[in-house]
Structure 1
Amino acid sequence: MTESITLHPYQHQAVEAISAGLAEGGRGQLPAARGSGKTLISVLAATRLVLAEGLLSVFVPSLALERDGARTGTEVS
């Protein structure tokens, strides 16, 4: 699935930290600059927490963010 995606070191660290924190019942925010890969980071972190047959629901406040998330999700899967 994600073998073809090359992450920057900060993105890899973020995916690891977010996955671990959420797996332990935590919550948080991902403040980062525009174009830094926030959507990619969040999609990769979320997919680590969903079983192979699982369903992932994502809620966003705008259609632009929905399109961005859908495009990134398609690239990752």
Structure 2
Amino acid sequence: MPSDMVSAAHEATLRRLQETYPGWRIWRSRDHYGRPAAWLASNCGVPGAAPTLHGDTAEKLEAQLQSPPRAV
């Protein structure tokens, strides 16, 4: 898939996750070449949930967002 199509797909997924899980700040990290890497979410209002979630894919992050681990 061309990089502009990948970027558009990532942006659409990011937007969907942000709209679906408003208690979290969701973003993509970047590797040392500046390419999108892991998917992350910071807790901004979900009581008792872990402060940060991490997934190698959007699907893995979303599974955690659906049932976030408890804060320690």
Pairwise same-fold verdict (TM > 0.5)? no
More strand by share: 2
| Larger relative contact order (Cα-Cα within 8 Å, sequence gap ≥ 6) | 1
State the TM-score, normalizing by the size of structure 1.
0.31
